[in-house]
């Protein structure tokens, strides 16, 4: 069990902030719509051809 935890927390596993509902799909650029994913998991949906997120962000705070 400890080995699995150490593997999961590997320094090679860079974290990415991900919008649960993409901004391109009318999701909010707010902490309530953000999740932390590993780089590989964050890219799964993007490779599947889902909507590309805009680079234009609205300031909420």
Kindly state whether residue 27 falls inside one of the protein's structural domains.
yes
Count CA atoms closer than 13 A to 33's CA, side-chain side: 13
Per cent of the chain over pLDDT 90 is: 0
- By residue range, what is the domain housing residue 42? 7-47
What is the torsional sign of CA 2, 8, 9, 11? Answer: positive
Is the pLDDT at 28 greater than 60, yes or no?
yes
How does DSSP assign 8-42, residue by residue? HT-TTS-EEEEESS-GGGT--SSGGGEEEEEHHHH
Question: What confidence tier does 5 reach under pLDDT thresholds 50, 70, 90?
Answer: very low
Kindly state whether residue 37 falls inside one of the protein's structural domains.
yes
Q: How many domains does the chain have?
A: 1
Kindly state whether residue 24 falls inside one of the protein's structural domains.
yes
pTM of the entire predicted model: 0.52
- The 10s digit of each residue's pLDDT in 34-55 is 888 888 887 776 666 665 555 5
Kindly state whether residue 52 falls inside one of the protein's structural domains.
no
Kindly state whether residue 23 falls inside one of the protein's structural domains.
yes
Kindly state whether residue 43 falls inside one of the protein's structural domains.
yes
Specify the pLDDT at position 4. Answer: 47
Kindly state whether residue 33 falls inside one of the protein's structural domains.
yes
Kindly state whether residue 21 falls inside one of the protein's structural domains.
yes
């Amino acid at each position: 069990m400890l080995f699995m935890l150490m593997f999961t927390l590997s320094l090679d596993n860079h974290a990415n902030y991900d919008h649960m509902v993409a901004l391109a799909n009318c999701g909010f650029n707010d902490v309530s719509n953000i999740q932390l994913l590993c780089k590989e998991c964050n890219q799964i949906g993007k490779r599947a051809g889902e909507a590309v997120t805009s680079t234009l962000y609205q300031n909420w705070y």
